Structure formats: C-alpha cells, structure tokens
Amino acid sequence: MTSDPTRSAHRPAPLLAIAHGSADPRSSAAVERIFDRVRALRPDLDVRTAYLDHVDPGAEAALTRLAADGAGEAVVLPALLTAAYHSRVDLPEVLERVSAAGPWLRIRYAATLGPHPWLLDAVERRLHEAGVRASPDTSLVLASAGSSDPEANAVVARAAEQLAARGPWRSVVPAFASMASPTPAQAVARLRAGGAPRVAVATYLIAPGLFSDRVRDQSLAEGAAAVSEPLGDLPELAALALHRYTEALQSEPSFPRLPAR
C-alpha cells in the first residue's frame, strides 16, 4: 500500500498522543479531555489518542489506522511526564514494527511532555485550587508515579528544586508512588518530624487513578494539610502538547532506535 499524496498534501501531519493507560476509567477520561482541548486549539489538526496498556486503541493499532487512512507522516507524542522505559523502549518497539509494515508512513517522534516549565505552572495552578500557596511555613512534596529508571526520578527531583526556587516554600522534596523512595507517606512524615508547621502535596501525575489515590491516601494519613488534584486537562498541558508537536515537525522524521539484540 502507498499513501495518496492528494489526501495529505495540504493537511498538517496528524498528532497521535500515546498515554500510559490504566484500568481505572478516570485516567483515559482525563487524557481524552486534554486532547479535546488540543483539538479546540487546533481545529485543523487531526488529533488522535492511543494507549500503551489497558485501553483501546493500542499504540500499534492507532498508527496502523493512520497509515491505512492515507497519512504520509505523523507526529507521535508520548503523553508522559518523564522519559523512561515506555518512551525509550516500549514505544520505539511499536514504531519499528509499524515502520517495517508501512515504510511510507514517516514518523516524527516528539519529546515527552516533561520536563518543561509549563508543567510547573500547572502544578502551581492545581495547588492554588487546593488552597495552597508558597509560604515560608509550608513544605511541599512533589509526588510522582515513580520509575525503575533513576534518570526519570532525577527529572522529578530537579522539578522539585525548580519549584523551590520559585518559592518561597520552606522546602520542596520529591516523592514517588511506586518503584522509588521516599513514598509520599515517608516524605510527609519526614517533613513533619523535621518541624515543618504545614505540609502540602502536589500530585505530579497527568490523570487520576491508582497512583493519585495512593498519593492522596498516604499523604493525608501522615497529616498533610492539602493534596492537589492531578494535572489533567489544564491549559498548560494542551499548550505543551502542541509545543512538542511543533518541535517534532522541525526535526527529521525519526524515532529512537533500539540497540541490536
């Protein structure tokens, strides 16, 4: 099969956002709302979503559908807050298979959503909604999903440092709902034991689900004064998705190549 140039010559490359996916329906609903906002910002753009696990369509099926629909190229956006195993291994494996089956589809692989200062703006917006503002008597926990990849966790730690610099917080520390430490419970307990008069928790997750529930439950059990909601469909995330799309269009069509086995 070959693409039909008359179908795509005057259309922007479609954007396929690929999220992690969850068995919790709140998660995919939040992702869909984010990209509904993207569609509202760019009504000329074919914006599609897919998932790595639990939710249809899967990433490979969605890319194959794009090729069958006549797309000559596409931008694949890992809708993730850090670059870890999913963006470095899982998705490249999918892209390799699709490229082998449909070499006419030029794939531009965008950067993950994070890190980016706009995400910190979104964190602050959610904290404000929860009644939390930076104050010298308040310590903040930035709670993410966590990863087996130390560099992904280091990205979250750097984001905590950047939030601290925006201040004036008493302190800002990272925490991880899985795969790494400290857990949200440990982080809140340590800050309280260290004399923090008030501890707030920022939920550094895209969507609600198991991890956001764990962050909230652990944090409140240890005496956190407030826990913000996941980032969800804030305008900063939609703007950032389009920013990553534009960046990808300015680079050569490519995606990370896996090491030879």
Domain shared by 158 and 99, yes or no: no
Residue 84, in any domain of the structure: yes
Residue 80, in any domain of the structure: yes
Residue 260, in any domain of the structure: no
pLDDT at 231 over 50: yes
Nearest-angstrom CA–CA distance, 80 and 125: 19
For the chain, the domain total comes to 2
Residue 146, in any domain of the structure: yes
Predicted TM-score (pTM) of this structure: 0.92
Tokens of 249: 């269009």
What is the average per-residue pLDDT within 156-180?
97
Domain shared by 109 and 175, yes or no: no
**pLDDT confidence of residue 10:** 72
pLDDT confidence band for 226 (50 / 70 / 90):
very high
Cβ burial of 12 (10 Å; 0-12, 13-18, 19+) is middle
**pLDDT confidence of residue 189:** 98
Residue 164, in any domain of the structure: yes
Q: Are 159 and 142 in contact (CB under 8 A)?
A: yes
Question: Which residues touch 231 (CB under 8 Å, ≥6 apart)?
Answer: 119, 122, 123, 126, 203, 204, 205, 206, 237
Residue 155 structural domain: 131-227
